């Protein structure tokens, strides 16, 4: 039965504490669009996306009105385009990116993710061509996101791909240097990428997924922070309980919206991603939750422990609230998209090394971090290798989304605007890893990958 307290609590969460559905993402398989004629394939891709997701935005807006809850992003993820590109050798895969952009414009979605390649064990036909076309694709399109999976717990880390991605990230930033290097903000390198991720830039629709489905990503750092603020003297396990209860409520809302979207769109419901996704808005910061737990500033000693507890409690609370949990599920720590992280990075308290440690205990990885414009491609590759090693050994997803700030030095700022926010250029080590990166080959899978 409804009671006044519950009604007012829900309204307060939405109005004052920035509670929202971060994204509804429709996953669409493009496997039936493969054609040896790239122009025909592009036409099929456009037609399929528009036929499936033509009313995604409209239905998203209808649900927003029905439940009075904002759905910030309506997005699409598609089959990794490298699989389609494989059928069209000697063609420029950027044609696919342009077709996806046309589909994004027609559907009115914020992003389409899936300009991707999965090369964790090696390159197959189409993979290298697609990866090499990423800088151009992200330069000539606005709403396309790209990702490359370079490692997994099962297969180890493809160091040739790691080397290549260092160059690609740098080149992507260079090509979009006049737009604050925005291209690199739409490119993510994964270890253990998941196939049903609704969040950008890393969303793609895995080949094991159904033809079309709908995923939901929830958010609510502000709600968690204000719930903790009401208990200033609680012990850590009491805090964990409060977070669990809050995460449960947030996730139930995601489940409700996902089920409703699935019903209205007539496609199966995929997963709810149990996430705490910050935005640069005041009161929507994961860093501020950690500070509420008792840290003077995010990034100081104790941050990793606080984040580990937060991430675990969010999952425990959320898992019972949803029929199917998936995606990345955990707290995100994108530096430029989180007001508290930005402050901590500007202050020098939050360093790349601390962020790396934090990624071992939370969702994803080194995310939205601006690095000096003169960074060597091999240094980027070495950072990717470190991060992928954490993912591989801990059997979790890790990712790297670095933005080389072309023409800028440590301490200067990159301004992306909107949800991507702004980030200070953070220092990196000046000693070289060139020899290590140039060796190439593959880091073998760890012992515990042999589970059968």
Partner 1 sequence: MRAVITVIGKDNVGILHKVSGICAEMGVNVIEVTQSVLQDMFAMIMLVDITNMNRDFSQLVDEMTNLGEKLGLSIHTMHEDIFNSMHNI
Nearer to partner 1 by Cβ, of 6 and 438: the residue is: 6
Q: Minimal distance in Å, beta carbon 70 to partner 1?
A: 12
Query: Would you tell me which residues interact with partner 1 (CB under 8 A)?
Result: 2-4, 6-11, 15, 62, 65-69, 249, 252-253, 255-256
Compute the least distance from the CB of residue 51 to partner 1, in Å: 25
Contact 279, 18 (CB under 8 A): yes
Closer of 207 and 320 to partner 1 (Cβ): 320
Whichever of 38 and 56 has its CB closer to partner 1, that residue is 56
**Which lies closer to partner 1 via its Cβ, residue 189 or residue 256?**
256
- Taking the complex as a whole, the smallest distance from the CB of residue 316 to partner 1 amounts, in Å, to 15
CA distance 384 to 365: 10
Q: How far is the CB of 276 from partner 1 (least distance, A)?
A: 17
Phi-psi region of 126 (alpha: psi -120 to 50; beta: other; left: phi over 0): left
Q: Which is nearer to partner 1, 9 or 35 (CB)?
A: 9
- In the complex with partner 1, the residue whose CB is nearer, 200 or 314, is 314
Least distance to partner 1, CB of residue 262, Å: 14
Min CB(219)–partner 1 separation in Å: 15
Least distance in Å: CB of 270 to partner 1?
Answer: 18
For partner 1, the closer of residues 25 and 255 by Cβ is: 255
Nearer CB in complex with partner 1: 250/402: 250
What is the smallest separation between the CB atom of 25 and partner 1, expressed in angstroms? 20
């Amino acid at each position: 039965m409804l009671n006044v307290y519950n009604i007012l609590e829900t309204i307060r969460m939405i109005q004052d504490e920035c509670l929202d559905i971060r994204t509804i993402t429709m996953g669409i398989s493009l496997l039936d669009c493969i054609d040896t004629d790239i122009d025909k394939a592009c036409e099929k891709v456009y037609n399929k996306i528009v036929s499936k997701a033509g009313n995604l935005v409209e239905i998203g807006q209808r649900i927003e009105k029905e439940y009075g809850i904002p759905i910030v992003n309506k997005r699409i993820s598609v089959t990794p385009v490298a699989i389609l590109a494989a059928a069209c050798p000697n063609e420029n895969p950027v044609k696919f990116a342009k077709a996806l952009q046309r589909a994004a414009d027609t559907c009115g979605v914020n992003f389409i993710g899936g300009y991707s390649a999965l090369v964790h064990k090696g390159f197959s036909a189409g993979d290298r061509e697609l990866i090499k076309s990423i800088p151009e694709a992200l330069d000539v399109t606005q709403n396309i996101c790209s990702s490359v999976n370079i490692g997994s717990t099962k297969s180890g880390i493809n160091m040739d791909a790691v080397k290549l991605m260092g160059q690609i990230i740098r080149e992507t930033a260079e090509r979009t240097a006049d737009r604050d290097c925005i291209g690199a903000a739409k490119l993510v390198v994964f270890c253990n990428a998941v196939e049903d991720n609704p969040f950008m830039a890393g969303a793609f629709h895995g080949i094991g997924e159904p033809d079309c489905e709908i995923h939901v990503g929830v958010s609510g750092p502000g709600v968690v922070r204000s719930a903790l603020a009401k208990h200033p003297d609680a012990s850590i396990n009491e805090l964990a309980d409060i977070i669990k209860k809050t995460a449960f409520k947030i996730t139930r809302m995601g489940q409700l919206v996902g089920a409703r979207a699935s019903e209205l769109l007539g496609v199966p419901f995929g997963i709810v991603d149990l996430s705490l996704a910050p935005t640069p808005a005041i009161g929507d910061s994961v860093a501020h939750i950690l500070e509420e737990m008792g840290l003077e500033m995010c990034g100081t000693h104790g941050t990793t422990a606080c984040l580990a507890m937060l991430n675990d409690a969010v999952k425990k609370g959320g898992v019972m609230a949803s029929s199917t949990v998936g995606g990345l599920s955990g707290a995100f720590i994108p530096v430029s998209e989180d007001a508290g992280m930005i402050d901590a990075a500007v202050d020098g308290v939050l360093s790349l090394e601390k962020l790396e440690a934090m990624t071992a205990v939370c969702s994803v990885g080194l995310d939205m971090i601006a690095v000096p414009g003169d960074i060597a491609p091999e240094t980027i590759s070495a950072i990717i290798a470190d991060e992928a090693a954490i993912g591989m050994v801990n059997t979790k997803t890790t990712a790297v989304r670095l933005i080389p700030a072309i023409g800028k030095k440590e301490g200067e700022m990159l301004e992306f605007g909107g949800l991507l926010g702004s980030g200070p250029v953070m220092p990196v080590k000046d000693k070289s890893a060139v020899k290590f990166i140039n060796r190439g080959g593959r880091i073998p899978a760890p012992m515990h990958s042999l589970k059968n």
